[in-house]
Structure 1
Amino acid sequence: MNQKFVEKTVSSQQIFDGKIIKVFVDTVELPNGKHATREIVRHPGAVGILAVTKENRVLMVKQYRKPMNQFLYEIPAGKLEPGEDPKLCAIRELKEETGYVATNMTPFSKFYTSPGFADEFIHLFYAEGIEAGEATPDEDEFVELVELTLDESIEMIEKGKIVDAKTIISIYYLQMMLLKGREK
């Protein structure tokens, strides 16, 4: 990495401390010596789980998301607790949101959601050997389990009905694996 483009933190002020996020306003020194302000959202990280049934149906949850004031279709997902292992979080979240349990969780991707202003980092897992069970959602979590074929999922992405990034990445990952002949 070219160190001459690094922004040095001059000061940092926390302006919000919420249940999920913290917000900071940082003053940074730019490579040209001038100062600028950066608004930064700190997030503990999250997991997303791509789970496919024996009948080749992708498990999703339909959930109302207040920031968009609409229902979104998403793969099961959840926030990491402080110090929590992402794989253990994925096992927990799959069970909580869908009732399904997996014999194995295999990581397949990880990414920053919005690196221009947030440090949220999502770990994506493929759930193998899944078996149905009873969901145990958090008391403030209301989700509807939805099972879609890969073709239905891709069509919903193309029609703008699936707009969640972690879900789109996961669906295209599954499609890529099938096209490469690697059954998941």
Structure 2
Amino acid sequence: MSTEPKRASEWTIHGERVLDDTRRAVLSIADVELPDGVRFEQYVLRIPGAAMVIVLDDEERVLMMWRHRFIVDRWVWELPGGYLDPAEDPMTCAAREVEEETGWRPRSMEKLVTFQPMVGTIDQENVVFLARGADFTGSAPDINEAERIGWIPLADIQQHMDDGSIVGAGSVSGLLAVQLLKAQGKL
């Protein structure tokens, strides 16, 4: 609990009622009061953290998965990654997910960016790592995860975002961070 004094623009939470509590999500309704006294109910979704990886090879291509997302009913390119198990180190999770989902084992990894995908409703920390290079393990990609695996040139990433084939918050956030590093000459 914070001991700092409340700021004038801070919202007050009078309570939170859990509607559903599962292994992968807690859905609740919060009783919220705005600084001007207006009260309302706000849905809140709390989800375990996630970790994903941008695997970049020597030719500046990114390892991505072509998969169908039923919620938006679209085929999209996404970075490999997944939910953190309780108390799991995000880098360990990220490396494990890349290997399980793609059959590639990332080499050196560094934290790239951390973000919350929808801070007004969802509490889920996401961590994106950058791996420089990967070794093929000989394992086939998990059919439940992706139809196919592809190495997408970094130069083509913006076009995929523009045409709607890369739309996930983790993929977009991480890839934009890599593009910024490249533009700054730090890649």
In 1, Cα distance between equivalents of 2:76 and 2:25 = 21
1:62–1:146: 8 Å Cα contact kept in structure 2?
A: yes
In 2, Cα distance between equivalents of 1:67 and 1:54 = 35
Structure 2 portions without partners, runs of 5+: none
Distance 1:56 1:41, change over 3 A: same
Give 4+ residue runs of structure 1 displaced > 6 Å after superposition: none
Return the letter of the residue paired with 1:32. D
In 1, Cα distance between equivalents of 2:68 and 2:120 = 25
Superposed CA offset, 1:23-56 (max 9, x none): 0011123323342211100111111211012333
- Partner in structure 1 of residue 13 of structure 2: 9
1:100 aligned to which of 104, 109, 115: 104
1:63–1:142: 8 Å Cα contact kept in structure 2?
A: yes
Distance 1:19 1:63, change over 3 A: farther
2:174 aligned to which of 153, 170, 173: 170
Structure 1 portions without partners, runs of 5+: none
Q: Taking every aligned residue pair, what percent have the same amino acid on both sides?
A: 26
Return the letter of the residue paired with 2:57. T
CA RMSD of aligned residues (A): 2.1
In 2, Cα distance between equivalents of 1:15 and 1:112 = 22
- Partner in structure 1 of residue 75 of structure 2: 71
2:106–2:131: 8 Å Cα contact kept in structure 1?
A: yes
Distance 1:129 1:159, change over 3 A: closer
User: 1:140, CA displacement in angstroms?
Assistant: 4.6
1:95–1:135: 8 Å Cα contact kept in structure 2?
A: no
In 1, Cα distance between equivalents of 2:183 and 2:19 = 47
User: 1:135, CA displacement in angstroms?
Assistant: 4.7
Q: Which has the higher strand share?
A: 2
Return the letter of the residue paired with 2:7. Q
Q: 1:81 and 2:85 equivalent?
A: yes
Distance 1:102 1:161, change over 3 A: closer
TM-score, normalised via structure 2 length: 0.87
Q: 1:27 and 2:31 equivalent?
A: yes
1:90–1:105: 8 Å Cα contact kept in structure 2?
A: no
